Amino acid sequence: MPDPLLSVTGLSVVYDTPRGPVTAVDSVGLTLEAGEFTAVVGESGCGKSTLMYAVAGLLDPPARVAAGQVRLHGQDLLTLGRRELDALRWRDFSVVLQSAMNALNPVTTLAAQYRDAMAAHGTYTKDEIRARSTEVLALVGIDPVHLGSYPHQLSGGMRQRAMIAMALLLTPDLVIMDEPTSALDVVAQRSLMVQIKELQQLLGFAVVFVTHDMSLVSHFSDQLLVMYAGQIVEQGPTRTVFDHPAHPYSRGLLEAFPSVRGPRVPLRGIPGSPPDLASPPPGCRFTPRCPLAHDACHHTAPDLYEAGAARSRCLLHLTEAAR
């Protein structure tokens, strides 16, 4: 069996805080094959960004990887030094964050930023850099005159697309996107989403796409990973999870973000908010908010159990799996 493109196993990330260690990512595993689109969903504060930063080697103190492996093409990224990782970033995988304003340098033109990104990874002539920069901008539908623009001269949507173009400069196999559309209005979000999907199909790279809005990815991702309180609570094919969400939290998320195309239903969502990860509730972490909680949930921490084509961290599926 060839190595998968990306394989994350038993990954835990801790923030060392004055109040003690906070485990923001708790034994997370995921596998991504070449060209696959995986979405990571969950409310704010559930550890999605921390997970992505850990995978991309971008964590800074007080965050540290406490356990686990991140393998890209079989190579463990967590054992690499910063320089070795810098050599892989942009070339083998790239990262697009929520706000391109934070990632793009405000005082240099797009042309200069694209040039620097390429020059850091190889020897390219001026003409080659110009040609490739023009090409990636065209891919995201931006007129190449904007190579001379500064980030603040572009609209929010254009900045995100310029960032995505930069992420594609060196044709990586994997693009990690952490809420790349969240700063945009709903219409701009959908159109950027469609564009990302078209690029992914055209160029064949794999995507890990993080969003707090589950409905955004329903038509775009192959696999879905639902995170709650630092843990994966459901994992499975996107269609399966949307049609038959196994975990009560997934069901709640679906109700909180009904499909834009679906019938209008009252927003029920999920009462309350995710727990403070400095002191998560004992047993199942979703118990305090769960409409289906029973006695055992208060003291028994569930594993991820088989639940049809998906896996679910819910005691209801323990009994099912044992049958």
Ligand X SMILES: Nc1ncnc2c1ncn2[C@@H]1O[C@H](COP(=O)(O)OP(=O)(O)O)[C@@H](O)[C@H]1O
Contact residues for ligand X, defined by CB under 6 A: 15, 17, 22, 24, 42, 44-50, 62, 277
Site membership for Mg ion, residue 287 (CB under 5 A): no
Helices 156-168 & 186-203 angle (0-180, nearest 10): 10
Question: By C-alpha distance, which of 140, 53, 57 is closest to 97?
Answer: 53
283-289 contacts at long range (C-beta below 8 A, 24 or more positions apart): 284/313, 284/314, 284/315, 285/228, 285/229, 285/231, 286/228, 286/229, 286/233, 286/247, 286/248, 286/249, 286/314, 289/249, 289/252
Distances (CA, A) of 215 to 211, 212, 241, 251: 9, 9, 12, 12
CB of 166 to ligand X, least distance (A): 22
Measured from the CB atom, the residue of 34 and 256 that comes closer to Mg ion is 256
Block residue for tokens 């589950």: 214
Residue 258 one-letter amino acid: P
CB of 181 to ligand X, least distance (A): 14
Extract the runs of DSSP E, i.e. beta strands, from 137-275.
174-178, 206-211, 223-228, 231-237
CB of 41 to Mg ion, least distance (A): 11
Residue 125 one-letter amino acid: T
Q: Of residues 147-206, which lie at the interface with Mg ion (CB under 5 A)?
A: none
CB of 307 to ligand X, least distance (A): 23
> Which of Mg ion, ligand X, none has residue 201 at its interface (CB below 5 to 8 Å by kind)?
none
Measured from the CB atom, the residue of 50 and 287 that comes closer to ligand X is 50
Residues making up the chain, counted from first to last: 323
Measured from the CB atom, the residue of 15 and 205 that comes closer to ligand X is 15
Measured from the CB atom, the residue of 114 and 209 that comes closer to ligand X is 209
Measured from the CB atom, the residue of 40 and 164 that comes closer to ligand X is 40
> Which of ligand X, Mg ion, none has residue 297 at its interface (CB below 5 to 8 Å by kind)?
none
At 5, list the tokens: 């493109």
CB of 49 to Mg ion, least distance (A): 3
Site stretch for Mg ion (CB under 5 A), options 40-48, 83-91, 167-175, 313-321: 40-48
Measured from the CB atom, the residue of 113 and 189 that comes closer to ligand X is 189
**Gyration radius from the chain CA atoms:** 20
CB of 44 to ligand X, least distance (A): 4
CB of 274 to ligand X, least distance (A): 7
CA–CA separation, 318 and 302 (whole Å): 8
> Which of ligand X, Mg ion, none has residue 46 at its interface (CB below 5 to 8 Å by kind)?
ligand X
> Which of Mg ion, ligand X, none has residue 245 at its interface (CB below 5 to 8 Å by kind)?
none
> Which of Mg ion, ligand X, none has residue 45 at its interface (CB below 5 to 8 Å by kind)?
ligand X
Strand partners, 16: 21
Contact with Mg ion (CB under 5 A): which of 23, 38, 49, 195? Answer: 49
Q: Which residue has the closest beta carbon to Mg ion? A: 49
Supply the DSSP string of 65-99, one letter for each residue.
EEEEEEEETTEEGGGS-HHHHHHHBTTTEEEE-S-
Measured from the CB atom, the residue of 22 and 270 that comes closer to ligand X is 22
Binding site for Mg ion (CB under 5 A): 48-49
